[in-house]
Structure 1
Amino acid sequence: MNQILQVEGLELALVGVEPQIRERKAAASVPKPKDTPLETPPDFARLVTDASLADILVFRWAEAQRCFRADAHLSAVVMMGSIIEGVLPHKAEHHMKAADQAKAAPREKTGAVKPIQDWSLSSLIDVAHEAGWLQGDVKRFSHALRESRNIVHPYVQRLSKDRPDGDTCRICWQVVRAAVADLLEVDKQAGGVAQP
């Protein structure tokens, strides 16, 4: 009871056997930070051969969690999408033969495969699935994450009328974890590390 009253500058005290409310110094309760520790990032060095890219992905993994904890849901979703967007181009670049052979690989009018930097996240997801790097369910949910991430553009958000919330973030987080797990499993089967 006193925890409730202390915010108002009051307390309940017993004087003999009689309870009395008396004034005391008001104490605003400070909300406790969310206690759960940040989830340890996966070993991105197993997914990407570029050490600086691995560091960026580790940072974004933690940043996505910090955004979520701060209830910055849109920012968290954008960070989560950027993790997928960081891993998939590297995977395609280092497995060009498989990526080039995919029907989903974006092509020039001449029929030549476009440079990786010109691929959309949608194409990267489709190629990753076609090449066997992402399972079908992860592909579908990755597209949902991509669509959620696209509301980083105010015009797109206005049209979609979407506002990510805590539930959206929890779903997106599972998608990121599943995509990274799929990619790690493929690399594990190929010999344990990302192939340059």
Structure 2
Amino acid sequence: MPLPRPARDTRLQDLIQHADTNRWIDQDAKMASDLLRTYRNLVHPLAEKRAKHSADFDPADLCWSTVNAVLNDLAASSPHWRIERRSWFECCFALEGAHGLG
């Protein structure tokens, strides 16, 4: 089932849910993605200041592992798309075409 609007105009929460609903990602990748989305909101400069939080390399490493897990699941769910060294945006646009998200 396609998204109601192009992937680039869709909230991250909706993209995660859509990938889960279509079984493109495993449950562990969905749960980790939801945590990553919440953490992403915390590292906004104003949110960091209010929460007296400072981002460092350890959470960044955890986030990167989640991104890799999701990309692996997405690649496994589509025989027409394979993982290459690409930027995050290139991956999103490649997935948009492979999974009919456009």
TM-score (norm 1): 0.37
In 2, distance between residues paired with 1:153 and 1:165?
Answer: 13
In 2, distance between residues paired with 1:187 and 1:159?
Answer: 41
Which residue number in structure 2 is paired with residue 156 of structure 1?
47
Matched, 1:184 2:75: yes
CA-to-aligned-CA distance 1:8-67 (integer Å, 9 cap, x gap)? xxxxxxxxxxxxxxxxxxxxxxxxxxxxxxxxxxxxxxxxxxxxxxxxxxxxxxxxxxxx
- In the TM superposition, 1:97-108 aligns within 5 A as 98-100=1-3
Aligned length: 83
Which residue number in structure 1 is paired with residue 37 of structure 2?
146
Bigger helix fraction: 2
CA contact (8 A) 2:29 2:70 kept: yes
* 2:65 aligned residue (157, 174, 188): 174
Corresponding residue SS for 1:99: coil
Q: Which runs of 4+ in 1 moved over 4 A?
A: none
**Identity between Structure 1 and Structure 2 (%):** 31
Bigger strand fraction: 1
In 2, distance between residues paired with 1:167 and 1:132?
Answer: 29
Q: Structure 2: where are the runs of 5+ without partners?
A: 82-97
User: Closer, same or farther in 2 for the Cα pair 1:160/1:143, shift >3 Å?
Assistant: farther
CA RMSD of aligned residues (A): 2.1
In 2, distance between residues paired with 1:160 and 1:126?
Answer: 27
Aligned-residue offset at 1:130: 0.8
Between structure 1 and structure 2, the one with the greater Rg is 1
CA-to-aligned-CA distance 1:158-188 (integer Å, 9 cap, x gap)? 2333322222122111101101100110013
- In the TM superposition, 1:1-196 aligns within 5 A as 98-100=1-3, 113=4, 115-116=5-6, 117-188=8-79, 192-193=80-81, 194=98
More contact order relative to length (CA 8 Å, sep ≥ 6): 2
CA contact (8 A) 1:99 1:131 kept: no
TM-score (norm 2): 0.66
CA contact (8 A) 1:129 1:135 kept: yes
User: Closer, same or farther in 2 for the Cα pair 1:158/1:178, shift >3 Å?
Assistant: same
